[in-house]
Amino acid sequence: MDTAKKKDIRALTKEQLRDFFESKGDKPFRGNQVYEWLWQKSAHSFDAMTNVSKETRQMLTDNFVINHIKVDQMQRSKDGTIKNAVRLHDDLVVESVLIPTKTRTTACVSSQVGCSLDCKFCATARLKRMRNLNPDEIYDQVVAIDNESRLYFDRPLSNIVFMGMGEPLMNYNNVLKAIDKITSPEGLGMSPKRITVSTSGVPKMIKKMADEQVKFKLAVSLHSAIDEVRTSIMPFNATFSLHDLREALEYWYQMTKSRITYEYVVWEGINDTQEDVDALVAFCGFAPSKVNLIEYNPIDDDMFRQASGSALEMYVATLEKNGIIVTVRRSRGKDIDAACGQLANKS
Ligand code: SAH
């Protein structure tokens, strides 16, 4: 059989794999064994499955491929951050990042090749969306970073953020399937509480997540709580307005009682006035919230400049006065273009 026509075996659920073995006159239990090799042990080839007979391995080779990702290039920042350029089976490339701190290792993973949104301040937006990542391609990025964490920092991965390339809620089904594998004891067995999905805010999908009672955390890239300002820097806001976003977030909180985190960059002349911070307070005051003030990572553009320290202080003071938790987040991995918004397959 032509390789191009063979199916990626990791697109199958465990049930489907069991059925496949049964249809070949074998025991369904073989499906469990192979499934464990594919997910828990991250086997890259059928030949690695040593407790499976040679004939069965050949039969699998005849029917399927294992489309494993390949870390093509690894760059290390002076602050310890690692960026992987990850080659997919069709030769497209995405990036993922390992961010170490004293106590944690966080994986920042991609959900799409490129991105369909057009945030003016983000380097990934310039790549346009080429395709969605499959669940196994998302899972493999996490496994690769877990391995690097063990190798270079002597500890397993502790947290995952979907803040790499792409808009996770525009590849919702695959992101959820990947998270299922990451949290399942048959995969990595990680707690969903250690996973954050970051979105520019797709109201319909936020409501769907609320309905499905997902257990991971939600972060919203807000950057402005004033429609005209937000639309000017995140043009899709013209379609998904702040009103709809707010309504979806209220629903999310009502259903999950889970705190919402907002990501926010303060730019000079764009959102650095008292009016901007007052709008932010009014927007997120309805539920327990946390605002992460992210440092701007320049992307060769004259339009955006990080606001002054005094503007940041005004944000911090006003948010705190209103009982909103606020953190000022320093960028990591800037020297290797691994910081927020810098992932653009430059290498
Ligand atoms: N599409 C998702 C996840 C990817 S972006 C989302 O929008 O949330 C991850 C975070 O980096 C987002 O909060 C995004 O707004 C922010 N970001 C994008 N470009 C940036 C830049 N140049 N500097 C700082 N943060 C940036």
CB neighbour burial string for 207-239, b if at least 16 within 10 angstroms, e if fewer: bebbeeebebbbbbbbbbbbeebbbebbebbee
Specify the 3-state DSSP secondary structure of 292: strand
Give the model's pLDDT for residue 4: 56
Ligand 1 site, residue 198, Cβ cutoff 6 A: yes
Give the model's pLDDT for residue 245: 98
- What tokens appear for 153 in the block? 């920092």
Of ligand 1's atoms, which has the minimum distance to the CA of residue 200? 7
Cβ atoms 175, 100 nearer than 8 A: no
Residue 55: which domain range? 3-65
| Global confidence as pTM | 0.93
φ and ψ at residue 24, rounded to 5 degrees = -95, 10
**221 alpha carbon to ligand 1 midpoint, in Å?**
7
In the chain, the number of structural domains is 2
Output the domain CATH number for residue 201.
Answer: 3.20.20.70
Ligand 1 site, residue 171, Cβ cutoff 6 A: no
Instruction: Decide if 95 is catalytic.
Output: yes
Looking at the structure, do residues 127 and 253 belong to the same domain, yes or no?
A: yes
| Residue 179 pLDDT > 70 | yes
- What tokens appear for 319 in the block? 């948010």
| Residue 2 pLDDT > 70 | no
Classify residue 184: in a domain, yes or no.
yes
pLDDT in tens, 258-299: 999 999 999 999 999 999 999 999 999 999 999 999 999 988
Instruction: Decide if 108 is catalytic.
Output: no
Q: Give mean pLDDT, residues 79-95.
A: 95
Of ligand 1's atoms, which has the minimum distance to the CA of residue 299? 22
Q: Give mean pLDDT, residues 117-127.
A: 90
Cβ atoms 338, 81 nearer than 8 A: yes
Give the model's pLDDT for residue 336: 85
The secondary structure of residue 35, as a DSSP letter, is H
Counting beta carbons within 10 angstroms of the beta carbon of residue 116, is it exposed (0 to 12), middle (13 to 18) or buried (19 or more)? Answer: middle
Among residues 24, 43, 65, the one where a domain terminates is 65
d(CA 145, CA 151): 10
User: Which residue has the least CA distance to atom 20 on ligand 1?
Assistant: 341
Ligand 1 site, residue 256, Cβ cutoff 6 A: no
Q: Give mean pLDDT, residues 306-330.
A: 94
Rounded to the nearest 10 degrees, the angle between the axes of helix 274-284 and helix 309-321 is 30
Classify residue 343: in a domain, yes or no.
no
**Beta strand 64-65 with 70-76: parallel, antiparallel or unpaired?**
unpaired
| Residue 256 pLDDT > 70 | yes
Higher pLDDT, 143 or 341: 143
Closest CA to 273 of 310, 320, 232, 237: 310
Classify residue 114: in a domain, yes or no.
yes
Torsion, Cα of 196, 300, 332, 312 (10° steps) = -80
Confidence of residue 347 (pLDDT cuts 50, 70, 90): low
Q: Give mean pLDDT, residues 126-135.
A: 90
Among residues 32, 65, 98, the one where a domain terminates is 65
Looking at the structure, do residues 298 and 269 belong to the same domain, yes or no?
A: yes
Q: Give mean pLDDT, residues 197-201.
A: 97
Q: Give mean pLDDT, residues 146-173.
A: 96
User: Which residue has the least CA distance to atom 17 on ligand 1?
Assistant: 341
User: Which residue has the least CA distance to atom 5 on ligand 1?
Assistant: 163
Looking at the structure, do residues 204 and 325 belong to the same domain, yes or no?
A: yes
Looking at the structure, do residues 22 and 170 belong to the same domain, yes or no?
A: no
Classify residue 122: in a domain, yes or no.
yes
Of ligand 1's atoms, which has the minimum distance to the CA of residue 331? 24
Looking at the structure, do residues 61 and 84 belong to the same domain, yes or no?
A: no
Q: Which of 119, 260, 291 to mutate to test the pocket of ligand 1 (most atoms within 8 A of CB)?
A: 119
Looking at the structure, do residues 83 and 34 belong to the same domain, yes or no?
A: no
Give the model's pLDDT for residue 300: 78
Looking at the structure, do residues 155 and 32 belong to the same domain, yes or no?
A: no
**267 alpha carbon to ligand 1 midpoint, in Å?**
14
Count of Cβ atoms closer than 10 Å to residue 334 Cβ? 18
